[in-house]
Chains A and B, each alone.
Chain A
Amino acid sequence: MRALRSSAAAAVAVIAAFTAVSGCAKKSDAKDSEAVKVTATDDACEVSKTSFPAGHVTLAIENKGSKVTEVYVYAPDDRIVTERENIGPGTKADITATIKAGSYEIACKPGMKGDGIRQKITVTGGGAQKKSDPELDKAVAEYRRYVQEQADESVAAAQKFADAVTSGDLDAAKKAYASSRTGWERTEPVAESFGDIDPKVDVREDGLEKDQKWTGWHRLEKSLWQDQKITDEDKALAGQLMKDLEDWRKRVGTAELTPTGMANGAKELLDEVYRNKITGEEERYSHTDLDDFAANVEGAEKAYGLLKPVAARHDAALVQELDKQFDAVKKALDGYREGDGFKAYDTVGQDDRKKLSDVVNALSEPLSKLAAAVAK
């Protein structure tokens, strides 16, 4: 959690360039001649035109298959430009979106699963995006998969935590708390790019704005460790947490990710460690700061690993240094492992905290140069 909104929102902005206007039109306003017809069957995804001008685009979808389907428009890095779910067999649906010039893929997903059956399309016209690097597109697409995977796993882990709270089982809730946060902490800059979710699920008491109701993980953390009891309100809060996390899971695919955004996101994860974990502020009741710390580092290393081949071509020395410093941080963390998790942070003395701070600095300083090495 961060007290102030920072560059995270800019680096990994929620879709803004591509405004999905609809997905809810019941009847088609578009003339057949203008709309792009998408005919979905159980094993095909036919598109009436594979090239059309930029601007307002209407996709007139007809599901001629036997399974419920969904249709997505993907940018080259697999970002969801727009999508429509739950199109039943024999029914029609329209999607309207403003799409900029560039290359895209339309995917039909019979049975609403998997990567779908894909068709390449070209959107023509002025304001074309700058040419993308396929290697970086691949890195971003892979990172997007990781982010989605983390969200999926997190929701499952959080469900265990929420269930324990709901059933009033204090010990089980405490046990499930740290791991319910792992996926979130690994991908926090992306999660935070949805400005409305973070304040609901990961805010600390001191981060509350005027009249803001305190909800989310840290509110429950306080109940479990400080108050040592679970109230009816806490049970309701657990349900709310799941609703908000589900919202995150569903929206995470629309986050606009860029290679420099990934690199800056990695740096920001270490900034998180430096500001909130080293100090013990993040988990002030449960003292599970080192679990968050490790998740932040893992998430940063994932993004770095995907960008590494490109960064290595531009700045081999930087990559060598980053490899070394990631290892040093992980080694330092390993010293605190206990069972499935980590030692409680309130048992870590000032001298040891300083050592952790030093290795984090040693990693963060070169990591702040990764975005430039990727963008070069």
Chain B
Amino acid sequence: MNETTTASPSRRTLLGWGGAGLALGAAAAGGTAAALRLGDGSQPAASAGDAVPFHGAHQAGIATPVQDRLHFAAFDVTTTDRAALVALLKEWTAAAAAMTAGREVGDGESSDYADNAELPPDDTGEALGLKPSRLTLTFGVGPGLFEKDGKDRFGLKSRRPQALIDLPAFPGDNLDPARSGGDLCVQACADDPQVAVHAIRNLARIGMGRVAIRWSQLGFGKTSSTTPDAQTPRNMMGFKDGTRNIAGTETDRLDKHVWVSEKDGPDWLAGGSYLVARRIRMHIETWDRASLKDQEDTFGRTKAEGAPQGKQREHDEPNLKAMKDNAHVRLAHPDSNNGVTILRRGYSFTDGTDGLGRLDAGLFFIAYQRDVRDGFVPLQRRLAAKDALNEYIQHVGSAVFAVPPGVRDKDDWWGRALFA
């Protein structure tokens, strides 16, 4: 396995116009504070501007310490040509490796006429001069890649993982098909929103004619942390949620709850995971009118400290019985779910207003797990049936993806084992 330290990002050095001083300073920082990826899949935090290694046993962007911003995109595959799809995945992988290292897409190397001013630039350019910003690009494949409308589209039907189920309907769902599903997905996380958006934009552009964006979602603030010593972020309701999330350093819990093992099968997915994405709209106006007591009862936590009800500190072990039966924490806690644990990596979103003067805001929920059937599905069944929060939220988008293992080295590519 090729465990590289952070390469000096050339995106900075390409900044010929303006900001030369900034570029120099950034390059110096990049040299001294290189992010290191550990062989066991756990990762120490890289500092904010750095590059997160793209290659490894697992894809980055799962156990990686959660970055500040998100751009998540789901794609429909529009080509019917398996070779064209494979070619795209190779091009995407090369572009992703470049962008996560802070380099431009294309680099002019693959172009026969790099100096030709008639040609639109390979890279769209808005990330020139920006730091790598811990950009991670995480790739997944949805059920539709294997089979759509009863058709085996790319000869992959027999390779569909049994755990890659079509999610069942849950009570209270109000899913918009235009914000749900997708044959492929890319999760772009970075500390700089422009770096995340640049990544999705360039992948979408490369994909035109073979894939088309089905929907995409921006997230402006992380709501989960995979670094336990960092402060737990608050969601749009003002509460800390996911205090007991799996940490990127908890190798045992990652192996138990997140990574697909070789014995789970299928082979091509060993070292991968399953991703569930849900766009959860919050009725924040009515929430804001709820009394503090109601709000705290709804979550089962105090608002200010985030402590479990009846306890003093956020990380105190909760006494579930001290909470109401329908409190969110009580229902979601592993102890109430036979130990079911998922890795949460959601982001707050606000997509302007909804035309009725209400903020179109909420949580773009992202969870990684070893098996959806033992993870999100039973958990959400329980929450959908009883959670006091349901009065204030509505699930309006939904998707599920199998996330292949990491790209090993520069000869490997997203989905290689699946197409082998």
Chain A residues with CB under 8 Å of chain B are 260, 263-264, 314-315, 321, 325, 350, 354, 357-358, 361-366, 368-369, 371-376
Cβ of B116 under 8 Å from chain A: yes
B56-115 with Cβ < 8 A to chain A: 76, 78, 112-113
A-B contact count (CB 8 A): 43
Q: Look across to chain A and name the residue whose beta carbon is closest to the beta carbon of B206.
A: A365
Chain A residues in 8 Å Cβ range of B205 = 365
Number of interface residues of B (CB under 8 A): 14
Is the Cβ of B208 less than 8 Å from the Cβ of A376? no
Is the Cβ of B120 less than 8 Å from the Cβ of A368? yes
Q: Look across to chain A and name the residue whose beta carbon is closest to the beta carbon of B81.
A: A324
* Distance between B54 CB and nearest chain A CB, rounded to angstroms: 25
Cβ of B377 under 8 Å from chain A: no
Is the Cβ of A372 less than 8 Å from the Cβ of B118? yes
Is the Cβ of A315 less than 8 Å from the Cβ of B112? yes
Cβ of B119 under 8 Å from chain A: yes
Is the Cβ of A375 less than 8 Å from the Cβ of B209? no
Is the Cβ of B212 less than 8 Å from the Cβ of A375? no
Is the Cβ of B78 less than 8 Å from the Cβ of A376? no
Is the Cβ of B209 less than 8 Å from the Cβ of A369? no
B235-283 with Cβ < 8 A to chain A: none
* Distance between B347 CB and nearest chain A CB, rounded to angstroms: 25
Say which residue of B76, B119, B178, B208 sits within 8 Å of A372 (CB atoms).
Answer: B119
Is the Cβ of B209 less than 8 Å from the Cβ of A365? yes
Is the Cβ of A369 less than 8 Å from the Cβ of B212? no
Is the Cβ of B209 less than 8 Å from the Cβ of A321? yes
Is the Cβ of B209 less than 8 Å from the Cβ of A366? yes
Interface mask (B185-218 → A, CB under 8 Å = 1, otherwise 0) = 0000000000000000000010011101000000
Is the Cβ of A369 less than 8 Å from the Cβ of B119? yes
Is the Cβ of B209 less than 8 Å from the Cβ of A325? yes
Q: Look across to chain B and name the residue whose beta carbon is closest to the beta carbon of A315.
A: B112
Say which residue of B76, B120, B210 sits within 8 Å of A369 (CB atoms).
Answer: B120
* Distance between B212 CB and nearest chain A CB, rounded to angstroms: 4
Q: How far is the CA of A350 from the CA of B27 in the complex (A)?
A: 47
* Distance between B207 CB and nearest chain A CB, rounded to angstroms: 9
Q: Look across to chain B and name the residue whose beta carbon is closest to the beta carbon of A354.
A: B212
Interface mask (B110-132 → A, CB under 8 Å = 1, otherwise 0) = 00110010111000000000000
Between-chain CB contacts (< 8 Å), 13 pairs = A260-B118, A325-B209, A361-B208, A361-B209, A361-B212, A362-B208, A368-B120, A369-B119, A371-B118, A372-B116, A375-B116, A376-B113, A376-B116
Q: How far is the CA of A350 from the CA of B120 in the complex (A)?
A: 30
Is the Cβ of B118 less than 8 Å from the Cβ of A365? no
Q: Look across to chain B and name the residue whose beta carbon is closest to the beta carbon of A325.
A: B209
Chain A residues in 8 Å Cβ range of B178 = 350
Is the Cβ of A375 less than 8 Å from the Cβ of B118? yes
Chain B residues in 8 Å Cβ range of A314 = 112
Q: How far is the CA of A371 from the CA of B116 in the complex (A)?
A: 10
Chain B residues in 8 Å Cβ range of A263 = 118
Chain B residues in 8 Å Cβ range of A364 = 208
Chain B residues in 8 Å Cβ range of A357 = 212
* Distance between B113 CB and nearest chain A CB, rounded to angstroms: 5
* Distance between B92 CB and nearest chain A CB, rounded to angstroms: 15
Most central of B76, B113, B119, B209 by chain A CB within 10 Å: B209
Closest 7 CB pairs of A and B: A362-B209, A372-B119, A358-B212, A372-B118, A371-B118, A365-B208, A372-B116
Q: How far is the CA of A365 from the CA of B121 in the complex (A)?
A: 12
Is the Cβ of B78 less than 8 Å from the Cβ of A362? yes
* Distance between B399 CB and nearest chain A CB, rounded to angstroms: 17
Q: How far is the CA of A13 from the CA of B205 in the complex (A)?
A: 30
Chain A residues in 8 Å Cβ range of B116 = 372, 375-376
Given known A358-B78, A369-B119, A371-B118, contact A376–B112 (CB-CB < 8 A)? yes
Q: Look across to chain B and name the residue whose beta carbon is closest to the beta carbon of A363.
A: B209
Q: How far is the CA of A325 from the CA of B113 in the complex (A)?
A: 22
Q: How far is the CA of A40 from the CA of B112 in the complex (A)?
A: 51
Chain A residues in 8 Å Cβ range of B118 = 260, 263-264, 371-372, 374-375
* Distance between B116 CB and nearest chain A CB, rounded to angstroms: 4
Q: Look across to chain B and name the residue whose beta carbon is closest to the beta carbon of A321.
A: B209
* Distance between A369 CB and nearest chain B CB, rounded to angstroms: 6
* Distance between B178 CB and nearest chain A CB, rounded to angstroms: 8
Chain A residues in 8 Å Cβ range of B212 = 354, 357-358, 361-362
